[in-house]
Amino acid sequence: MVTASAPGKVILFGEHAVVYGEPSLVAALDKRTYVDAATREDNKINIVSALGSDTSTVGELRGDTEDDFRYVKRAIALVFERLNESAGFDISIRSDVPPASGLGSSASVSIATIMAVSEELGVKLDRKEIAELGHKVELGVQGSASPTDTSISTFGGVLFVKPKENEVEQIEVDLSLVVGYTGVERSTKFLVDRVRRLREEYPDIVGHLIRDIGKLTREAKHMLVRGDDVGMLMNVNHGLLEALGVSTEQLSRAVYAARQAGASGAKLTGAGGGGCMIALTPKNQDAVMRAVDGCGCKSFYSVITRDGVRLEET
Ligand code: PMV
């Protein structure tokens, strides 16, 4: 048996715009998803997680299912296709990353599955290839997806993701961040579709908003590299995401409360519609956490991890 794990993430800048080729800045969280993979003698694929369990066969894997394990099944199918080899598997998943919260649970499970299954079949894929397969999983399940989540789950640390160039740059930066989880689960696909429809209806206006998010993300990267405070740019990014229609009253209340309590900036993170917000807290961390909790969110202090996908001792 092989166990692999991969981290969740918070998007610092650039969500939604990154779907249209603009860059994003993203950090890996020290909350991980662990996947055990063991081959079986027959052709059954058994998957078990806190969400329940599922049994299918190797032949059924690629079906466009809507079930809770669609990311895992597609990840296994793509590994079989890449290795030109298949087998029955017992897959067991446990995760510290809350599902559908914008913290990258689907990417972390896809990436950990790709590493665990390929290693169990005796093949060491390099990280670039793992990230690319992971991106294909998200594209297959969601229709459209940027490489943001799958890149950060693979490489860890803080990344500047450039989808047009198909490149990522590792940024050396230490950030003090508070995350506030609204407890509201939402679908990334639904929110990405909403922005797409708005862009189709108002191509000029929404095109400008998307390009402006791209500009501020590039500026934020330069400022972070210089060691400057990017709080104000986070506030502007939140305003642009509100303009795209993906914030909620609760998210925006928590964002404003965090700023009032002394955060240097705050914004929603991920697709929006619920999920999470982040606040930059070089100081006043406890006050910001109390303010965010006062808006019905559950806050935690985020630790950025340098570890991307990795094998665990079994
Ligand atoms: O799934 P989330 O909430 O982390 O959202 C991902 C960020 C988006 O830009 C909205 C989608 C994408 O594929 O990059």
Span 27-37, pLDDT tens digits: 999 999 999 99
- Mean pLDDT for the chain? 95
Q: How far is the CA of 145 from the centre of ligand 1 (A)?
A: 7
When computed from its CA atoms, the radius of gyration of the chain, rounded to whole angstroms, is 19
- Stretch 166-186: mean pLDDT, rounded? 94
How far apart are the C-alpha atoms of 74 and 129, rounded to whole Å? 15
Supply the residue whose CA is at minimum distance from atom 14 of ligand 1: 146
pLDDT tens column, 58-71: 988 865 667 789 99
149 as an active site residue: the answer is: yes
CA atoms in the 13 A half-sphere facing the CB of 19: 21
State yes or no: pLDDT of 144 exceeds 90. Answer: no
What does the angle CA 264 – CA 104 – CA 52 come to, to the nearest 5 degrees? 140
Q: How far is the CA of 9 from the centre of ligand 1 (A)?
A: 11
State yes or no: pLDDT of 297 exceeds 70. Answer: yes
* Ligand 1 pocket, CB under 6 A: 11, 15-16, 18-19, 102, 104, 145-146, 148-149, 188, 192, 270-271, 275
How far apart are the C-alpha atoms of 283 and 269, rounded to whole Å? 20
Q: Between 173 and 63, name the one with better pLDDT.
A: 173
How far apart are the C-alpha atoms of 195 and 144, rounded to whole Å? 12
